[in-house]
Structure 1
Amino acid sequence: MTSTDLPQYKTIQYEEIDKVAVVTLNRPEVLNAFDSVMMREIASCWRYLRDRETIRAIVLTGAGDKAFCTGLDRKAEAVGENGAVPLHHNDPGHFLPPKTAGHLYKPVIAAVNGMACAGAFYLLGEVEFIIASETATFFDPHTTYGMAAVFEPMMMLQRMPLGEVMRMSLMGSYERMTATRAHQIGLAQELTAPADLLPRALEVATRIASQPALATETTVKSIWTAQESSYRAALEMGQSLIQLGTSDASLREGARTFQSGRRITWTPR
């Protein structure tokens, strides 16, 4: 498939590099804030990737070096099926999170550059892990401007300690979490120099994508099941997932890697 055959979007860039898809939020003039068009395009992209058999991992990033995403573009006019409608009638939570909007369990790695705030957490709340530039910052300005922070902190509570979510939500625009602090608390799994961010994310994604797809996707599904369920309920579902996530084709692919004699070069972290 040539690049002209790939899906075309107005507000995001889509690229395929071997078995990895790179999805770039592409509204740098508004710090990659999302409008109704971007919301629908992201949801469409997640659904496309769910069924794209040749893609085994995804890198999600933002255009430019100022921001990954700054949430809702409040100056944009929202256009619905029947003309202009208030954007908040279509909650971003229905469109942006890869698991919720696209039922996508291929690994999504976020490469965060610059600011990530407010509605960006709809995206970050459902990625597998985050690689951040050393210049990245994380904050939630809702309360400063008289709005309750609700869905975003609920989602980030899945990957941050309670006190950190509370502090970020309550401090509003008065404080920004640095990349160093994000790494300390486990929000970001790795920090890089700004210029190394995308190459490093691609390197990690390529390694993940080199492994059998069924095993990888079922692993993602299993871990999210455990995160979102009680321990016992997750173990019970695990009995079904291990059957669904094991196939002769997947095992043969893994066996070829083992029998090739090629030794995988691992890296410390």
Structure 2
Amino acid sequence: MSDYKTLRYEERNGVAWVTLDRPEVHNAFDMVMMRELYECWRGLRDNDDVNVIVLTGSGDKAFCTGLDRIAENVGATDHTEGLGRRGATPMHTDDPCDWLPPKTAAELWKPVVAAVNGMACAGAFYLLGEVDIIIAAEHATFFDPHTTYGMPAVFEPMSMLQRMPLGEVLRMSLMGAYERMSAQRAHEVGLVQEVVPADELIEAARHVAEAIASQPPLAVQTTTRAIWYAQELGYRQALDVAKTLVQLGLDKDSLAAGKELFDSGRRTPWRLR
């Protein structure tokens, strides 16, 4: 993988650890980070050493606070520079929702586990809307301040409707900076799958990621794709696609590995959540 200016990247035990690394601005993204995340997601598609990705933020104050509005070129309004730049008509507009989310940016179906360590707000939901599992530190908070600062929240709530009930998305979007959702409340409404003390966050993410990464990758990736298809398509449409996915997701190597494990009498160690 490339050397990054705004990300930290490492691989171990089949897991890629991607850390947003601009702690001085609460890991807000600028144009450099946007491009680097896009390159990272695209590179991970073809990296056979990696089966799962953990995404987190540097430090303990913030996972990501969205767009860095004071970074150079971000927010420029002409046709050539900055976020939202466009051609001769507004029909050709670049937006971070095309660059940041792993599935939109790269059709990356290797599972992504987010470890949320602190604030996650605004454009952070571009990322959280397309990860597969979210684990949060107890002090993590979630909010969307767009409306407070005179901007519509559009892509973010659309994305979060994939993960949260309608009323919760409406409340978070409309309350703006006047309210923050706690990690515990996020767990209660299904946004977060596990809440742990801050000093246990990385270990909790490691446990989940390495467990998934230890399994046959084709089975894991096909399962991930199937679930997102079911989320995006109508039920009957998803069932039609499922017939094809079953055929694509079965191969002799995966089946042989599973049979060997079963026939050995060994049972996978598990823990109750």
| TM-score (structure 2 length as normaliser) | 0.93
CA deviation vs aligned residue, 1:115-167 (integer Å, no higher than 9, x gap): 00000000000000100000000000000000000000000000000000000
Deviation (angstroms), 1:261? 2.9
Corresponding position: 1:85 with 2:81: yes
Q: Distance between the aligned counterparts of 2:40 and 2:82, measured in 1?
A: 23
Is residue 97 from structure 1 mapped to residue 129 from structure 2 by the alignment? no
Residues 69-218 of structure 1 correspond to what in structure 2 (within 5 A)? 69-78=64-73, 85-89=81-85, 90-218=94-222
CA shift digits 1:16-45 (9 cap, x unpaired): 011001000000000000001100100111
Aligned residue identity for 1:96: L
Residue pair 2:31, 2:82 contacting (<8 A) in 1 also: no
| Deviation sequence 1:170-196 (CA, Å, 0-9, x none) | 000000000010011111000010011
Per the TM alignment, residue 84 of structure 1 is displaced from its structure 2 partner at its CA by: 6.9
User: Counterpart of 1:3?
Assistant: none
CA distance in 1, matches of 2:121, 2:215: 33
Percent identity for Structure 1 against Structure 2:
63
Q: Which residue of 1 aligns with 2:258?
A: 254
Q: Which runs of 5+ in 2 are unaligned?
A: 86-93
Q: Distance in 2 between matches of 1:183 and 1:160?
A: 10
- Give yes or no for contact 2:129–2:162 (8 Å, CA) kept in 1: yes
Given that 1:77 and 1:84 are in contact with CA atoms closer than 8 Å, whether structure 2 keeps it comes out as no
* Distance in 2 (alpha carbons) for counterparts of 1:158 and 1:93: 15
Distance 1:110 1:178 in 2: 16
Q: 2:14 aligns with which of 10, 19, 39?
A: 19
Q: Following TM superposition, where does structure 1 have runs of at least 4 consecutive aligned residues deviating by more than 6 angstroms?
A: none
Please say if residues 78 and 84 of structure 1, whose CA atoms lie closer than 8 Å, have aligned partners that are also in contact: no
Deviation at 1:48, TM superposition (A): 0.7
**Alpha carbons 2:73, 2:82 under 8 Å: kept:** yes
Does 2:35 align with 1:40? yes
Scaled by the length of structure 1, the TM-score of the pair is 0.95
- Aligned positions, number: 262
Following superposition, the deviation at residue 256 of structure 1 comes to 2.5
Offset, 1:57 = 0.7
Q: Partners of 1:143 and 1:69 in 2: how far apart?
A: 18
Shift of 1:250: 1.3
Runs of 5+ in structure 1 lacking a partner? 1-5
Partner Cα distance (1:191, 1:172) in 2: 24
**Is residue 62 from structure 1 mapped to residue 57 from structure 2 by the alignment?**
yes
Over residues 76-128 of structure 1, what are the superposed CA-to-partner deviations in whole Å (9 max), with x where a residue is unaligned? 11389xx9712222310110000000110000000001000000000000000
Following the alignment from structure 1 to structure 2, what is the Cα–Cα distance between the partners of residues 75 and 261?
59
Q: Is the 8 A contact 1:138 1:176 kept in 2?
A: yes
Q: How far apart are the structure 2 equivalents of 1:262 and 1:85?
A: 58
